[in-house]
């Protein structure tokens, strides 16, 4: 998986230096009352919108950096699922996602892209993840939200073609 992750993250290589410049330039001028700046940890409950259905439970951990209304970050998510497909049952998904979006009031709207490792009785395969999401700060460092993800599972079950799986998750997050 790690070779595939390195190859896929090569697509994001122009983003990383830009994030470093933003971090260096932000310094102490960053607002202290930012809703979306810092580490976070939470859980998800999700539903598969296609394939043969299924439910997933996830834990996510990440870091966001907010500069004015711009928010960028990275997230690691580990999911246990019971996704049924015509080519095999998916029992676990590990995702690494880059997120970017904007904050408006107590809301954070974002797009994301990343990589995943999908596991089931068939073994492990790599996937690409694209999506959109929205989080809302309900106070006391807690946010709730929703995320739509499209997974492109490469050469699924050695069938030679890609499988697309769409999920919708509800999220609850503790922001540090």
* Residue 2, pLDDT above cutoff 60: no
pLDDT at 7: 52
pLDDT tens digits for 38-69? 999 999 999 988 767 788 999 999 999 999 99
* Residue 144 and residue 174 in contact, taking contact as beta carbons nearer than 8 Å: no
Region of poorest pLDDT, from 23-32, 35-44, 112-121, 167-176: 23-32
Q: Whole-angstrom Cα distance, residue 58 to residue 55?
A: 10
* Residue 118 and residue 95 in contact, taking contact as beta carbons nearer than 8 Å: no
Write the DSSP assignment of 87-106 as a string of letters: TEEEEEEEEEEEEEEEEETT
Q: How many separate domains does the chain show?
A: 1
Q: Whole-angstrom Cα distance, residue 96 to residue 150?
A: 14
The CATH number of the domain holding residue 20 is 2.40.160.20
Q: Whole-angstrom Cα distance, residue 87 to residue 84?
A: 8
* Residue 131 and residue 112 in contact, taking contact as beta carbons nearer than 8 Å: yes
Mean pLDDT across the chain = 83
* Residue 9, pLDDT above cutoff 80: no
Q: Whole-angstrom Cα distance, residue 66 to residue 38?
A: 8
Domain that holds residue 58: 2-175
Region of poorest pLDDT, from 27-31, 100-104, 164-168: 27-31
Number of other residues whose CB lies within 10 A of the CB of residue 56: 22
pLDDT tens digits for 129-152? 999 999 999 998 999 999 999 999
pLDDT band at 25 (very low <50, low <70, confident <90, very high): very low
């Amino acid at each position: 998986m790690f070779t595939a992750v390195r190859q896929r993250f090569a697509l994001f290589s122009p983003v990383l230096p830009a994030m470093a410049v933003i971090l260096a330039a932000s310094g102490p001028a960053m607002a202290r009352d930012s809703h979306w700046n810092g580490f976070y940890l939470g859980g998800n409950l999700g539903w598969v919108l296609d394939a043969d259905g299924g439910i997933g439970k996830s834990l996510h951990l990440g870091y966001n950096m907010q500069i004015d209304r711009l928010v960028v970050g990275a997230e690691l998510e580990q999911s246990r699922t019971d996704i049924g497909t015509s080519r095999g049952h998916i029992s676990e998904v590990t995702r690494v996602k880059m997120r970017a979006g904007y904050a408006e009031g107590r809301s954070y709207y974002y797009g994301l892209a990343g990589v995943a490792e999908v596991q089931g009785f068939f073994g492990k395969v790599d996937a690409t993840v694209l999506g959109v999401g929205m989080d809302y700060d309900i106070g006391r460092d807690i946010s709730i939200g929703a995320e739509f993800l499209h997974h492109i599972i490469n050469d699924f079950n050695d069938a030679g073609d890609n499988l697309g799986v769409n999920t919708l998750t509800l999220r609850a997050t503790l922001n540090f």
